[in-house]
Amino acid sequence: MKLYIAEKPSVARAIAHVLAPSAKSENGIYSAGDVVVAPLSGHVLEQAKPHEYAERFKEWRLEDLPIVPETWKKLVKSEFKGRISAVGKLLKRASVVVHAGDPDREGQLIVDEVLDHLGYHGPVRRVLPNEIEETGLREILANEHDNREFAALSESARAREQNDFLVGISATRAVTLIGQQQGYRGMTFTVGRVQTPTLALVVRREREIESFVPIDHYAVVATMAHERGAFEAIWQPDPTQVDLDPEGRLLDRSTAEAIVARVQGKSGRVVSYKDERKKANPPPPFSLNALQAKASRLFRIPVAQVLEIAQALYEKHKLTTYPRSDSKYLPTSQHAIAGDVLQAVAATSRSLAPLIDGADASRRSPAFKDTKDPHHAIVPTRRHGDISQLNELERKVYELIAKSYIAQFYPPYEYRTIEAEVEIDGERFLARGKIPLNLGWRAVLGTDDKDERGDDEAPPIPPLAQGDAARCSAAEVKEKKTEPPPRFSQASLVAAMERIDKFVQNPEVKARLRSVKGIGTSATQAPIVEGLLTRGYLEERDHKLYATAPAVALIEVLERAVWPLTDPGLTALMEQTLESVAEGRLTCAQHTAQVVAFMNKVIVDLKAVKFPAPPAGLPTRRAGGASRRSKGAGAFRKRRGSWKPSRAKRRETS
């Protein structure tokens, strides 16, 4: 018997439909002749809790930290015992198993650990269900691999689990116990490898906004008259100019007014002129992170909801490929089916059909690139669907994904950039412009980037030549104010989690992080943001995120005692070590040993930390140490300056 094990029922159903359309289903298990397809339901095993390793760990005590299991244990979740039992019986009859878990490290582990738990030692093949649309899935099922090729990927998922246990359990207990000793009674401070540095991004942004003092600065804008037309130019300060701040902004209005008086009505020369024709390729198709960031911003929905929609488009409607992808590339082999995919999009959404007419399926954009990623960018499938079967948000997200794919088959966007520098009485003025020549893929995507839109809509600069005469026909002083950094939204926060190098100051670390896919994974970033909101560390008002008092207190304490726990750069580098495990350059045991050494130091440093004073109105009832009555940080939500209890439960987290 050939036994296929899928990660979830919908994938099992799709596989059974392809392999044996007449297969009978009993308790979700499909069978036809010598083929059986059995589903799991995600992680059916879970990491043992501390007290399941030793009874004494039921009580939270500093002297027990860090908690480091001698032998790691995974237990069957109670609700899945029947399913595991059924799979166990099937394994006894199987001559070969086909691992059909999701094509990422968690999907690899989900099936592998079930086979280990049930003691299966027979041959295992691997298929990678990047899509479950019938045509694509048939090709996937015909392309089996030896599952041993993916052993290191499974090991990296185990390393991630152990890492999160070691950091989340011990740091959460340590900070909570020390906080309760210092006045934060009744609270549990949850700490996690990814959660905490993500929270630190928001807290630090909060500080920047609160400490921000606006600065007045001044620009001189001149209208230049030339025989071929007029254009605007901005005064450029000399590096030796006084009254500039470190960013080169002019701080003295009288200096600006003196410049206006000096140049107005005078003639000068064009000292440099550049007119260049340029091309820009289309942006690549979406990874999950990029899709969440854009859809959340465009449609004003939570990032977690974007993932739900993408999952439904893949699993329920079979219109798009596997959603939990970190990749923005497509394998070169996918180019051969481009015409079929484009026709499927046209059949599914009539509003997109005119865009398909302008696409050239033979065009190969830079997005078609073979990488080591187990999955590829999120794109439409070859299924001819019915857009009316989608709800409004599903339709919007589908069309967003489809347009990003269609754009790959349009010509580059072509434009001219013009830059002219005029000198009048020793003062230099710069004019810049951008002129679209051929919209190319922008006919599909347009642009929602205000800076690019501003460039395109800038007044045109007439044809000039170096040495031409130009006269300042008018000049004025424009007063400006510096603005505080913007608050994070859910969309910009998940985008920041991916581009974490932007938030690191150390040049060496910054350079290393440019090759890292950020902190967390595309599949976990949205749940982390949602968890910070649920636990009361963040609040959302008008689609903007605010750090609460418990969040500020937690980050302040950790910065004092164990800065690395709040450092997104270090967390991203830890993610890089997980990639080293996935590539076989580091073992799970070696990675875990590094984390244990790190946590030993963390606990020592935390014991010496002093918490800031608790926020006003925080309940001070005794919590009995780590009593089960303890509330989480989410138990205190800010309402008009006070703190009121909610129903948040205590959780140790990763």
Kindly tell me the burial class for residue 393, based on how many C-beta atoms sit within 10 Å of its own C-beta (0-12, 13-18, 19 or more): middle
- Give the start-end residues of each E strand in 439-554: 469-481, 538-541, 544-547
Residue 402's φ and ψ, nearest 5 degrees, are -65, -40
From the list 377, 384, 372, 423, the residue with the least C-alpha distance to 401 is 377
Pairing of strands 469-481, 427-438: unpaired
Residue type, 502: K
User: 250 pairs with which residues across the strands?
Assistant: 218, 244
What is the spatial distance between Cα 327 and Cα 285, in angstroms, rounded to a whole number? 9
What is the spatial distance between Cα 422 and Cα 621, in angstroms, rounded to a whole number? 71
Catalytic site includes residue 322: yes
Q: Which residues contact 59 (CB under 8 A, 6 or more apart)?
A: 625, 626
Q: Which residues contact 375 (CB under 8 A, 6 or more apart)?
A: 103, 104, 128, 130, 321, 322, 324, 325, 326, 327
What is the spatial distance between Cα 499 and Cα 153, in angstroms, rounded to a whole number? 23
Q: If you ran DSSP here, which 8-state letter would residue 420 be given?
A: E
Q: If DSSP states are collapsed to H, E and C, what string results for 60-123?
A: CCHHHCCCCCCCCCEEECHHHHHHHHHHHHHHHHCCEEEEECCCCHHHHHHHHHHHHHCCCCCC
Catalytic position from the list 184, 273, 322, 329 = 322
Kindly tell me the burial class for residue 385, based on how many C-beta atoms sit within 10 Å of its own C-beta (0-12, 13-18, 19 or more): buried
Sign of CA dihedral 501, 502, 503, 509: positive
User: 481 pairs with which residues across the strands?
Assistant: 216
From the list 106, 150, 158, 154, the residue with the least C-alpha distance to 126 is 150
Pairing of strands 35-39, 2-6: parallel
What is the spatial distance between Cα 428 and Cα 224, in angstroms, rounded to a whole number? 12
What is the spatial distance between Cα 125 and Cα 121, in angstroms, rounded to a whole number? 12
What is the spatial distance between Cα 236 and Cα 444, in angstroms, rounded to a whole number? 37
Structure tokens at 117: 């738990």
What is the spatial distance between Cα 425 and Cα 431, in angstroms, rounded to a whole number? 17
Structure tokens at 169: 């359990």
Pairing of strands 267-280, 469-481: antiparallel
Catalytic residues: 322
